[in-house]
Amino acid sequence: MKIVLDTNVFISGIFFSGPPSQILRAWKNKRLQIILSQDILIEYQRVAESLTLQYPSIDILPIIELVTVHGQFVDTKNVDITVCEDPDDNKFIECAIASDTKIIVSGDKHLLKIKGFKGIKVHKPREFVEIYLD
């Protein structure tokens, strides 16, 4: 199963327990594939570096390296979508479209509003875990 993970879910899965960490564990156990674009990886890195300053005991670099090596990258240059109220969220939709991925996992209200666009389902982390991982 292929999914696109919003930054809030990816980072929450690293720093906290709960559904986001269950999703990352499922990825680690090869139950699902994380699809990402270069823009998404840059955002993951930026947010992770910021949180590392707040939580210096957590070494996030190995996890960023894992997603860089084991995540499936897709080129989104030929996809230009402007459907989200927050333009910064369009990159997740573009990634899903470019990779023909039908699931985005996010807690972001702007992404949740576009559920159904081009057949893409947007699930909150807990909902995704209950439907696909339990």
CATH number at residue 8: 3.40.50.1010
Hey, is 48 helix, strand or coil? helix
The count of structural domains within the chain is 1
- Tell me the H-state helices in the chain: 7-15, 19-28, 38-54, 61-70, 90-99, 109-113, 125-128
- pTM: predicted TM-score of the whole model, two decimal places: 0.91
Angle at 95 between CA 90 and CA 98, to 5 degrees: 120
* Encoded tokens for 102: 């039908």
Domain range for residue 25? 2-133
Residue 99's CB is within 10 A of a number of other CB atoms, namely: 20
pLDDT digits (tens, 9 = 90+) for 67-76: 988 899 999 9
pLDDT digits (tens, 9 = 90+) for 1-12: 999 999 999 988
Task: Write 59-66 long-range contacts (CB < 8 A, 24+).
Answer: 60/14, 63/14, 63/24
- CB of 26 within 8 A of CB of 75? no
pLDDT band (50, 70, 90) for residue 21: very high
pLDDT digits (tens, 9 = 90+) for 82-103: 777 788 999 999 999 999 999 9
pLDDT at residue number 6: 96
